[in-house]
Amino acid sequence: MFAKAQEMLQAYFGYESFRLGQEKTVSNVLSGNNTMCIMPTGGGKSICYQVPALVMEGTTLVISPLISLMKDQVDALEQVGVAATYINSSISGKEAYERMKGAKEGRYKLLYVAPERLDSIEFLEQIKDMHIPLIAVDEAHCISQWGHDFRPSYLHIHEVINSLPQQPIVLALTATATPQVQEDICRSLHIELDNTVMTSFERTNLAFSVIKGQDSNAYLFDYIHKNKNEAGIVYTATRKVADQLCDHLQKENIRVAKYHAGMSNAERMEQQDRFLNDEVEVMVATSAFGMGIDKSNIRYVIHYQLPKNMESYYQEAGRAGRDGLDSQCVLLYRSQDVQVQRFLVEQSANEGRFTSELEKLQQMVDYCHTEQCLQAYILHYFGEEHTESCGRCANCTDERTSMDVTKEAQMVLSCVIRTGQRFGKTMIAQVLTGSKNKKVLDFRFHELTTYGILSHKSVKEVNDFIEFLISEEYIRVEHGQFPTILVTPLGRDVLLGNILVQRKEALHIKQIVKDNP
């Protein structure tokens, strides 16, 4: 059957050969195994179910939450001569009826549906009359409460499969899977963990960097001017900041488009087209922009504000350099943006997910403070264990020498313990710098031996140092009503003198921090 798959790949899609992950996924599916395929965006997941759909008898059902992309996918398939259709809320009831009738008659090789369809009893009855050899679950991370885009309808998928007269093979596909999400997908869809095909998420043409302690606007304008005539995306956390920044860039004579969910559909499409057609160089947008866009020559992605988690960050940053040429991913870090994201999490997360969203945000903040290889940090986050330093990111190319800061680390850790591990980092920084703040005095922390032992530093410097210790996992944050910091077992080892702590010497730049534009 695999030889036939190769034939189909060439005949319909015109590709010489499967990519490595595709080959493994396709052969696994054709051997009759439920399979999970984890590949980065642009890795070529669609082929993994489209080719088996052509090889197998019957109609493959594709479940996808991306309604706006279904039509594109189906159009593309029809163009190469594959019979495909989709059923979602964008078509009329009559049209849906016609398409379903066609599907039951076996007219299509692929039928795309939105997950919400699975909640309709009528639809479930109808698909019992179809011959479905394969169910492809696209964006499968939506199945997991731990994922960043949970969809309750995804939880029904397995029941639906069970209700079918003939059991189809299940292929789950996603670009974002932490080990926890991976387990959830496998459990829910009855896929053996061993049947996971995962290609590395490393993007060898991307250079990551985090910019701290600099004027974000000055940095951004300078960057864009230096990269004139190159296409880039600037992501903001809120619509308001996107609006303001877009106005600001226009005043600087930068050709810029804008995209966020507060604009009308028509406006968004118009702005998107200007960017895709190279009429403007820069797109300023919220995370609403980018899903499914296929622009390969994006040379940089700048996050003007901290994103909410690593999944979003890597997905958005990963839109740079799809053509394989060297590209940059820059994150502008300001601590006040952590508060912005915290606020957004509070507004949107339901109770059960609140803590896990805050933990994800913390890991995003840790990324900004780590001194390890940034690409390795990302790959580690997504469950890749053996990662080497990339040699391209800002940390790998940082030539500052490392200093031994074990003594300062011990002072901080000791202060955390002496204050009972029930406060946030600002309180600890205040105690260490000898603040006369009322709360410090009320708790009688001025009587502690650690009071004022870092008085030669500012609260901000000590705060930054604590962030660094958190990112290196000597301290962890617990997200209760207020975030409190605690010493980890690794931190205890530092206190015992078993581990030395190294940190790059601080940059001596004058900090001119202006407000948002």
Residue numbers of the site for ligand ADP (CB under 6 A)? Answer: 15, 18-19, 22, 39, 41-47
Sheet holding 169-174, edge to edge: 84-87, 110-113, 60-63, 134-137, 169-174, 35-38, 196-198
Least distance (Å) from ligand ADP to the CB of residue 202?
15
Least distance (Å) from ligand ADP to the CB of residue 74?
14
Query: Which lies closer to ligand ADP via its Cβ, residue 42 or residue 452?
Result: 42
Closest CA to 480 of 424, 411, 420: 424
141 contacts 312 by C-beta, under 8 angstroms: no
Closest CA to 412 of 503, 505, 504, 306: 503
- What is the distance between the terminal CA atoms of the chain, rounded to a whole angstrom? 59
Least distance (Å) from ligand ADP to the CB of residue 4?
16
Q: Which residue is nearest to ligand ADP (CB)?
A: 44
Least distance (Å) from ligand ADP to the CB of residue 108?
19
* Contacts of 88 by beta carbon, 8 Å cutoff, 6+ apart: 67, 70, 112, 113, 114, 117
Query: Which lies closer to ligand ADP via its Cβ, residue 176 or residue 328?
Result: 176
For the chain, the C-alpha Rg in angstroms (whole number) is 26
Q: CA geometry: angle at 136 spanning 86 and 11, to 5°?
A: 80
| Residue matched to tokens 């985090």 | 210
Instruction: For residue 228, give Cα distances in angstroms to 224, 259, 326.
Output: 6, 20, 16
Query: Which lies closer to ligand ADP via its Cβ, residue 86 or residue 474?
Result: 86
Least distance (Å) from ligand ADP to the CB of residue 68?
14
Query: Which lies closer to ligand ADP via its Cβ, residue 7 or residue 222?
Result: 7
Query: Which lies closer to ligand ADP via its Cβ, residue 46 or residue 341?
Result: 46
Query: Which lies closer to ligand ADP via its Cβ, residue 44 or residue 102?
Result: 44
Query: Which lies closer to ligand ADP via its Cβ, residue 69 or residue 417?
Result: 69
169 contacts 29 by C-beta, under 8 angstroms: yes
Query: Which lies closer to ligand ADP via its Cβ, residue 19 or residue 104?
Result: 19
For residue 52, the surrounding DSSP H or E stretch is helix 45-55
Least distance (Å) from ligand ADP to the CB of residue 389?
26
Least distance (Å) from ligand ADP to the CB of residue 66?
10
Least distance (Å) from ligand ADP to the CB of residue 97?
30
Least distance (Å) from ligand ADP to the CB of residue 104?
28
Closest CA to 466 of 427, 499, 512: 427
- Residue 146, Cβ density class (10 Å: 0-12 exposed, 13-18 middle, ≥19 buried): buried
Least distance (Å) from ligand ADP to the CB of residue 37?
9
> Which backbone phi and psi does 173 adopt, to 5 degrees?
-130, 135
Query: Which lies closer to ligand ADP via its Cβ, residue 21 or residue 491?
Result: 21
Query: Which lies closer to ligand ADP via its Cβ, residue 38 or residue 477?
Result: 38
> Which backbone phi and psi does 353 adopt, to 5 degrees?
-105, -5
64 contacts 138 by C-beta, under 8 angstroms: yes
Task: Indicate the residue type of 195.
Answer: N
